[in-house]
């Protein structure tokens, strides 16, 4: 057909016209300008994309799984299954729809995630980063497959030292993406060990970081791999595949796919048809590799940037670490029939470091892996991993129950997956008591202080007892001014104005109190001196009758001072016997004690009993306290009128035995006052809260009665101590059994391994021994809610302490208390001397 000359002439005329070339150049200029503007906009967007990222520190619990026989460790199959948990996270990312549209074209894709391993300051940490819009998605994915993981949003870290050398590199495969790497399914051990082991051998001022920036691969790569494998089967030659696919594929344009990749295969296929006689069969290795390709193609794919950054005091050490890290990736190489990592690319160091810092995805440095390959490069550490210095989760966390009350005082709070829940306990549930255990300095005193401060602010009555003094001071500093008049500070160390405390004092309206006092007194001396081993029934018989005798007529003296006197002073005993109305007691002294001979003679018994009292009655600090006939305050009045009693018993200041004696006397008087509330209806009994820190020092077996019965009398007990062994003495587990059999709310801070083994009966299966031994700040709680105990959950105390500190007000309250309730020392001494007959 001859060309249409008219059309040709018309086209030439247009080209020769004066307007054509300017218009063409204008269009080309606009296109070039658009490309430049687009590049600048994209560069700005990429450089500032880090501002919209969220960074998370991920910690995993280190707990070795046990088989049915109790052995730890994983079989190869169990190891692969454990690693495969992380693959699902990458599958989710690979399944995300890639950013498209005008915004993606102009600003670049914003859907990449970063997974990082950082060794710095002798710690190997695992981080993840995501765009703010997708951070919640990533967090949910991790929690879905690692429910016990801790994911904490953190500020960006700085792994670079201020001085020294910083080197960086990025890695890429030698061959096309269609060739697979070794994965965890091809190995007997965790493949990531080779990477983290290098990172575990750093000095304090050195760091090594690995960064994997990933995003979902664009559509098309599955078809490429499918066609490549299909062609390879047809031409029966994998070696030809190697020749053609020597460079990694960085894009998926139709031109590259159909002409560069598949075009040669089409030619080879045609050639194979022409030479069918010469075609050879695939070897077993080649068949295996094609199968690996098919397996790779069966999973989601992600584009990835792999960067290494090291910092060391000098360039030589930095280069050594960089080379060691690059060599560690040889673990994944499939030589001859698969893919291998090439040499670390170190050109343009500053740009690589900047890309690392800002977590940029650089397309020309990327390569494609499927989820199994990426999971082999990066997964969170497995519990059995023995690599030192990994930043493990010290203990698991668990959510607070859904039925946490909205009323009552705050015990602390629960944080689970970023959600903070205040933990409250209702007033009625507190009557079933609260028990806290934990090593020194773990938060027990903070818990007690915060609870007591809230009770005081609510206008309730409280008593706080402790053997150190710090807890009392913290609470005293936070007492509101309007409650200053309600405070009684019992401080034995204040020798100028001692407050009387007479355990033998009782309300004659309640005759049963006399028996309670005597039993409590014998229990106290048993606790102090172990009477079963050193006293026996003879001590108890004489002590009981001595107490009954002096208490029968309080007006002539009824304190610990009179016990020794009634035993050793015949005239005083005779005076007491003449006033005694209890014939059984009179008969004991006149017909038995005074007439006994031999070892049972009174003269032999007296020194044995008085020796146990001498350390108290002869002590200049204790005598003015226990020697006063009338106690400085009435415990029943304190309970009924919601007053505040602070019992300050610092062992270092007043002596250990003295502190224990006074503490046990105080607990006995509180219990006695609570039991006397039977004279008022139950609904009129006002709640009174007793707090005892290191309570094992201040309790006899009467604590068992408090735990089992005191709730009926509105006495709520909160106790704390350090370890379970403190609750047993000479194989007597009565207090221990009462605690774990009656306490409603139980709290465990960090404990020793022996206690952890015991406590897992209450806190398992949610928490195990490893959790209880290694928990950091805070602990675990089983809360009583409406009479039912909740499932255990993690718990933290409130710090700093609640309330407002008023140190000047605290000093005024102390002064007010000592003048209201204390007595002048000289007056007390005179009264004791008068009763002893030394002055008239």
How much is the mean pLDDT over the chain?
87
**Among 829, 815, 722, 143, residue whose Cα is nearest residue 442:** 722
Quick one: pLDDT at residue 68?
47
β-sheet bridge partners, residue 648: 466
Query: H or E stretch including 110?
Result: none
Q: Are 473 and 795 in contact (CB under 8 A)?
A: no
β-sheet bridge partners, residue 693: 720
Quick one: pLDDT at residue 42?
61
Half-sphere exposure of 586 (CA within 13 A, CB side): 12
Quick one: pLDDT at residue 71?
46
Residue 51's pLDDT band (cuts 50, 70, 90):
low
Q: What is the arithmetic mean of pLDDT over 197-207?
A: 91
**Among 156, 199, 145, residue whose Cα is nearest residue 371:** 145
Q: Are 576 and 549 in contact (CB under 8 A)?
A: yes
Give the model confidence (pLDDT) of 571-625 as tens digits: 999 999 999 999 999 999 999 998 888 777 888 888 888 888 998 999 999 999 9
Of all residues in the chain, the percent with pLDDT exceeding 70 is 87
The answer for residues whose C-beta is within 8 angstroms of residue 72's C-beta and 6 or more apart is 64, 65, 66, 384
Chain centre distance of CA 444: 15
- pTM of the entire predicted model: 0.81
Residue 22's pLDDT band (cuts 50, 70, 90):
confident
Asked if the model's pLDDT at residue 836 lies above 80, the reply is no
DSSP per residue, 275-327: TGGG--PPPHHHHHHHHHHHHHHTS-EEEEEEEEEEEESSHHHHHHHHHHHHH
Residue 690's pLDDT band (cuts 50, 70, 90):
very high
Give the model confidence (pLDDT) of 91-128 as tens digits: 999 888 765 655 555 555 678 999 999 999 889 999 99
Asked if the model's pLDDT at residue 167 lies above 60, the reply is yes
Q: 């005076």: which residue's tokens? A: 575
Q: State how far the Cα of 562 lies from the Cα of 222, in Å rounded to an integer.
A: 98
| Omega within 30 of 0 (cis) for the link into 765 | yes
Both structure tokens of 191: 């493949």
Residue 244's pLDDT band (cuts 50, 70, 90):
low
Give the model confidence (pLDDT) of 338-349 as tens digits: 899 988 888 889
Both structure tokens of 456: 């005081």
Q: What is the arithmetic mean of pLDDT over 133-156?
A: 92
Across the chain, how many H-helices and E-strands are there? Answer: 34, 21
Q: Are 187 and 351 in contact (CB under 8 A)?
A: no
Asked if the model's pLDDT at residue 694 lies above 80, the reply is yes
Q: State how far the Cα of 790 lies from the Cα of 784, in Å rounded to an integer.
A: 6
Q: What is the arithmetic mean of pLDDT over 691-703?
A: 88
Q: Are strands 419-425 and 409-416 parallel, antiparallel or unpaired?
A: antiparallel
Q: State how far the Cα of 685 lies from the Cα of 229, in Å rounded to an integer.
A: 85
Q: Are 465 and 670 in contact (CB under 8 A)?
A: no
Asked if the model's pLDDT at residue 801 lies above 70, the reply is yes
Residue 333's pLDDT band (cuts 50, 70, 90):
very high
What angle, rounded to 10 degrees, do the helices at 602-617 and 656-675 form?
Answer: 100
Whether CATH 3.30.450 fits 49-217+300-377? no
Could you say which architecture CATH assigns to the domain 394-491+642-824? 3-Layer(aba) Sandwich (3.40)
Quick one: pLDDT at residue 256?
47
Residue 1's pLDDT band (cuts 50, 70, 90):
very low
Q: What is the arithmetic mean of pLDDT over 359-380?
A: 95
Q: State how far the Cα of 540 lies from the Cα of 543, in Å rounded to an integer.
A: 5
Of 259-263, 793-797, 803-807, which gets the smallest average pLDDT? 259-263
Neighbours of 122 (CB within 10 A): 12
Of 259-268, 576-585, 653-662, which gets the smallest average pLDDT? 259-268
**Among 142, 155, 133, 136, residue whose Cα is nearest residue 49:** 133
Give the model confidence (pLDDT) of 725-772 as tens digits: 999 887 888 999 999 999 999 999 999 999 999 999 999 999 999 999
Asked if the model's pLDDT at residue 838 lies above 70, the reply is no
Q: 């696919």: which residue's tokens? A: 245
Q: What is the arithmetic mean of pLDDT over 224-231?
A: 85
The answer for residues whose C-beta is within 8 angstroms of residue 504's C-beta and 6 or more apart is 517, 521, 547, 550, 551, 554, 558, 559, 560
Instruction: State the DSSP code for 258.
Output: I
Q: Are 345 and 172 in contact (CB under 8 A)?
A: yes
Quick one: pLDDT at residue 546?
95
Q: State how far the Cα of 619 lies from the Cα of 560, in Å rounded to an integer.
A: 13
């Amino acid at each position: 057909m001859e060309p249409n000359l008219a059309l040709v002439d018309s086209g030439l005329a247009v080209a020769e016209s004066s307007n054509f070339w300017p218009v063409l150049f204008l269009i080309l200029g606009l296109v070039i300008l658009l490309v430049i503007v687009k590049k600048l906009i994209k560069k700005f967007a990429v450089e500032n994309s880090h501002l919209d990222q969220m960074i998370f520190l991920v910690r995993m619990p280190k707990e070795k799984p046990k088989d049915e026989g109790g052995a730890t460790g994983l079989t190869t199959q169990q190891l692969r299954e454990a690693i495969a948990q992380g693959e699902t996270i990458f599958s989710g990312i690979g399944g995300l729809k890639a950013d498209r549209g005008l915004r993606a074209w102009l600003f670049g894709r914003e859907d990449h995630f970063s997974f990082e391993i950082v060794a710095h300051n002798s710690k190997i940490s695992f981080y993840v980063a995501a765009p703010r819009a997708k951070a919640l998605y990533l967090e949910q994915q991790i929690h879905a497959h690692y429910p016990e993981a801790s994911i904490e949003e953190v500020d960006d870290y700085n792994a670079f030292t201020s001085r020294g050398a910083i080197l960086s590199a990025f890695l890429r495969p030698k061959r096309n993406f269609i060739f697979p790497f070794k994965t965890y399914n091809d190995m007997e051990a965790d493949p990531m060990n080779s990477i983290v082991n290098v990172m575990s051998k750093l000095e304090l001022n050195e760091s090594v970081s690995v960064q994997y920036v990933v995003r979902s691969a664009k559509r098309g790569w599955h078809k490429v791999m499918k066609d490549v494998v299909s062609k390879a089967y047809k031409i029966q030659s994998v070696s030809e595949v190697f020749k053609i696919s020597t460079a990694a594929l960085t894009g998926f344009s139709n031109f590259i796919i159909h002409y560069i990749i598949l075009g040669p295969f089409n030619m080879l296929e045609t050639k194979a048809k022409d030479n069918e006689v010469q075609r050879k069969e695939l070897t077993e290795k080649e068949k295996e590799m094609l199968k690996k390709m098919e397996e790779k193609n069966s999973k989601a794919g992600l584009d990835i940037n792999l960067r290494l950054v090291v910092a060391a005091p000098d360039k030589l050490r930095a280069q050594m670490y960089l080379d060691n890290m690059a060599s560690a990736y040889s673990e994944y190489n499939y030589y001859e029939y698969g893919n291998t990592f090439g040499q670390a690319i170190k050109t343009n160091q500053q740009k690589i470091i900047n890309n690392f810092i800002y977590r940029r995805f650089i397309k020309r440095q990327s390569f494609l892996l499927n989820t199994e390959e990426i999971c082999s490069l990066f997964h969170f550490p497995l519990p059995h991993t023995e690599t030192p210095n990994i930043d493990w989760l010290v203990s698991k966390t668990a959510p607070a129950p859904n039925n946490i009350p909205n009323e009552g005082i705050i015990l602390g709070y629960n944080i689970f997956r970023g959600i903070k829940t205040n933990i409250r306990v209702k007033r009625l549930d507190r009557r079933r008591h609260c028990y806290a255990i934990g090593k020194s300095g773990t938060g027990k005193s903070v818990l007690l202080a915060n609870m007591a401060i809230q009770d005081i602010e609510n206008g309730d009555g409280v008593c706080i007892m402790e053997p150190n003094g710090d807890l009392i001071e913290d609470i005293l500093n936070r007492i509101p001014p309007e409650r200053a008049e309600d405070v009684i500070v019992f401080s034995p160390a204040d020798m100028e104005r001692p407050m009387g405390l007479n355990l033998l004092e009782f309300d004659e309206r309640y005759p049963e109190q006399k028996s309670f006092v005597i039993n409590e007194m014998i229990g106290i001396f048993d606790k102090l001196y172990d009477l079963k081993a050193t006293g026996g029934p003879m001590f108890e018989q004489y002590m009981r009758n001595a107490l009954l005798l002096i208490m029968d007529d309080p007006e002539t003296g009824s304190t610990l001072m009179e016990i020794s006197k009634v035993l050793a002073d015949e005239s005083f005993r005779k005076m007491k016997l003449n006033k005694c109305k209890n014939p059984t007691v009179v008969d004991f002294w006149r017909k038995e004690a005074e007439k006994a001979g031999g070892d049972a003679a009174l003269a032999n018994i007296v020194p044995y009993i008085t020796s146990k009292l001498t350390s108290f009655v002869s002590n200049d600090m204790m005598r003015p306290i226990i020697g006063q006939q009338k106690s400085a305050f009435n415990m029943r009045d304190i309970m009924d009128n919601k007053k505040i009693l602070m019992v300050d018993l610092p062992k270092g200041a007043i002596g250990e035995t003295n502190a224990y004696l006074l503490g046990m006397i105080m607990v006995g008087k509180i219990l006695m006052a609570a039991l006397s509330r039977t004279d008022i209806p139950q609904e009129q009994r006002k709640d009174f809260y007793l707090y005892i820190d290191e309570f094992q020092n201040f309790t006899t077996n009467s604590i068992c009665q408090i735990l089992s019965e005191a709730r009926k009398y509105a006495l709520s007990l909160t106790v704390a101590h350090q370890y379970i062994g403190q609750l047993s003495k000479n194989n007597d587990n009565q207090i221990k059994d009462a605690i774990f059999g009656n306490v409603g709310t139980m709290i465990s801070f960090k404990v020793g391994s022996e206690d952890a083994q015991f406590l897992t009966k209450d806190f398992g299966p949610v928490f195990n021994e490893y959790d209880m031994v290694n928990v950091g700040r805070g602990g675990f709680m089983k809360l009583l809610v409406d009479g039912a105990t909740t499932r255990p959950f993690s718990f933290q105390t409130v710090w700093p302490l609640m309330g407002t500190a008023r140190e000047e007000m605290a000093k005024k309250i102390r002064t007010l208390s000592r003048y209201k309730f204390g007595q002048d020392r000289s007056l007390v001494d005179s009264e004791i001397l008068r009763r002893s007959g030394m002055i008239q």
